[in-house]
Amino acid sequence: MEGEKVALSVGQVAFLLGITPVLAAWAYSELLEYRKHLYPSKVHSDLNLVDLRGYSGQAVTKDEEKSVLLEGGILESVNSKGSAVSVKAQLLKLFSLDELFLLECRPTLRAIAEFAGILFYFYLCDRTTLFGESKKSYNRDLFLFLYLLLVIVSWWTSLKKHVEKSVASGKSILYLNRHQTEEWKGWMQVLFLMYHYFAAAEMYNAIRVFIAGYVWMTGFGNFSYYYVRKDFSLGRFFQMMWRLNFLVIFCCIILNNNYMLYYICPMHTLFTVMVYCALGVFHKYNELPVVMAIKFAICFFTVIIIWEVPGMFELVWSPLTSIMGYVDPNPNKEKKPPLFEWQFRSGLDRYVWIIGMIYAYFHPMVEKWLERLDELEYRLRALLKTIIVTVAVVVGYLWYQHIYKLDKYTYNKLHPYTSWIPISVYICLRNISQPLRNSSLSLFAWLGKITLETYIGQFHIWLRTGVPNGQPGHLLSVIPNYPLLNFMLTSSLYLLVSLRLFELTGTLKSSFVPSKDNKRLSQIALVGLSIACALYGVAFLLIKL
């Protein structure tokens, strides 16, 4: 492929067009900051109180594809006065290189620059021959050795006992607390990533269960949030959408990929939206058990209609084929219709998000029940717990023998209806005793926090896809002929970059997606879309000429 001419896609050109002025503005703002330190009095003399109020801390500039709202320093004033300063005025300020304004925006500009730098690194690793690539190889011994080593290390170094008390009852927080969910994500994510890195085909079925676990958590977490907080505001909703899709959209643009290559993102987005709708519609009546029962029934019914009735899935999704379609460019792979991938992936976990919601609904009840259980007299408690553990273990064993061990095609057919079994067994065992409930491994919890970034990053800076829409069939090789050293080096860089991406997504989110100001949110969306369209238009013309 070396001889091929590098042809840029429209998206890539549009990105370059958009990012260049932002990078320039960032460089200028750094210069201003530097000057401010050299001659503190000079800049301050430009500054008066009227100005300060005018710049209520926000500005919009143009970013790659989206408009970007910059909340500079004074965050408090955003909600009260934010809308007063129109997005347009702030854009103007940016383009006129208003010094004070640039200084205020500097942290956001810097975050954008760093983000662009990381995307550039993605491109270098994945689409150029700067680094080599090597073949995946699987060795069960090495695989388990590495995983267990990580478990032991984190056990010795990062085991945390949480002694939080819930304010209301004064009792220890029991059920499904955040550390545990994150730790759980970490357990699964490490195996999931290693499965890709070592091409551990024999773990296929386990990986399906892990992904079901994530989707279960999407249902569980989002249900709890909306049910308890009752916060259906658009701001919060779009913040969540930003978290799920910001990085992936830019990866698609820069690397000229389809959204469906990263199928985890559309899947979680879909199920998050479905939970939002399920709880948001008539949310005043959520307290009534009848209403909730009807809502659960409607969720099941919707899923049955869309996924189980032949032809319905194509009918519903075909208008979105350009977004949800995916065709593997690998010529050795059997050609499938474009929507096949989406149908397959979303179909595997079509029910488990509802199961997650149901668990979340009964969560307070189970929590009370667990508290009561722990107050029981010793012998009775031991008896009950033994019964619970035995039942869980037996159910888990039966599932393992009769379902997990099936070959992958047969297993996939049963997966949507059975994935809740191992999940329930895990939850049950993980929470059976107070000490188990109250401790977690923070190394795994940390890894669990950045799952989205590690998921997306693996394609490009740990593994390699090589071509647009390619599956990551190779490993990124920086140190040829030293597979383990290479593994260590690429893994460290990869984790570091993932962590930065996690932080940058958050920084930019608080800058561009105001949580409590819908008017500004819609202004930003509008300006962002216009800028994106303009950039695409210009890029399109440039390529044609």
Ligand X SMILES: *[C@@H]1O[C@H](CO)[C@@H](O)[C@H](O)[C@H]1NC(C)=O
225 binds ligand X (CB under 6 A): yes
Q: Closest CB to ligand X among 184 and 326?
A: 184
Q: Per-residue contact track with ligand X, 266 to 295, x per CB under 6 A?
A: --x---x-----------------------
Alpha-carbon distance values, 378 to 163, 175, 375, 387 (Å): 22, 21, 8, 14
Distance CA 414, CA 230 (A): 35
CB 85 within 8 Å of CB 55: yes
Phi and psi dihedrals of 287, rounded to 5?
-70, -25
Q: Hunting for tokens 């060795």 — which residue is that? A: 139
Distance CA 327, CA 466 (A): 15
| Pair type for strands 58-62 and 67-71 | antiparallel
- Which residue's CB is nearer to ligand X, number 15 or number 223? 223
Contact status: 160 vs ligand X (CB under 6 A): no
Q: How far apart are CA 520 and CA 68, in angstroms?
A: 12
**If you compute the radius of gyration of the chain from its CA atoms, what whole number of angstroms results?**
25
Phi/psi at 172 (5° precision): -65, 145
Is-contact 320 339, C-beta < 8 A?
A: no
Smaller CB separation from ligand X, 54 or 506: 506
Check binding of 171 to ligand X (CB under 6 A): no
Choices 236-244, 313-321, 392-400, 465-473 (CB under 6 A): range interacting with ligand X: 236-244
Residue 123 as a binder of ligand X (CB under 6 A): the answer is no
Q: Applying CB under 6 A, which of residues 67, 108, 189, 218 lies at the interface with ligand X?
A: 218
The residue number with the shortest CB distance to ligand X is: 431
Cα separation of 54 and 245, whole Å?
Answer: 33
- The residue within the footprint of ligand X, chosen from 56, 83, 154, 177 (CB under 6 A), is 177
227 touches 361 (CB < 8 A):
yes
240 interacts with ligand X by CB under 6 A: yes
* Stretch touching ligand X by CB under 6 A, among 201-209, 283-291, 373-381, 422-430: 422-430
CB nearer ligand X, residue 218 or residue 465: 218
Query: Which of 427/531 has CB closer to ligand X?
Result: 427
Considering only 91, 103, 119, 174, the residue that binds ligand X (CB under 6 A) is 174
CB of 371 to ligand X, least distance (A): 10
Q: How many CA atoms lie within 13 A of 90 on its CB side?
A: 30
233 touching ligand X, by CB under 6 A:
no
- 225 vs 340, beta carbon nearer ligand X: 225
Alpha carbons 121 and 21: distance in angstroms, whole number: 20
Using CB under 6 A, list all residues that contact ligand X.
174-177, 180-181, 184, 218, 221-222, 225, 240, 243-244, 268, 272, 426-427, 430-431, 437
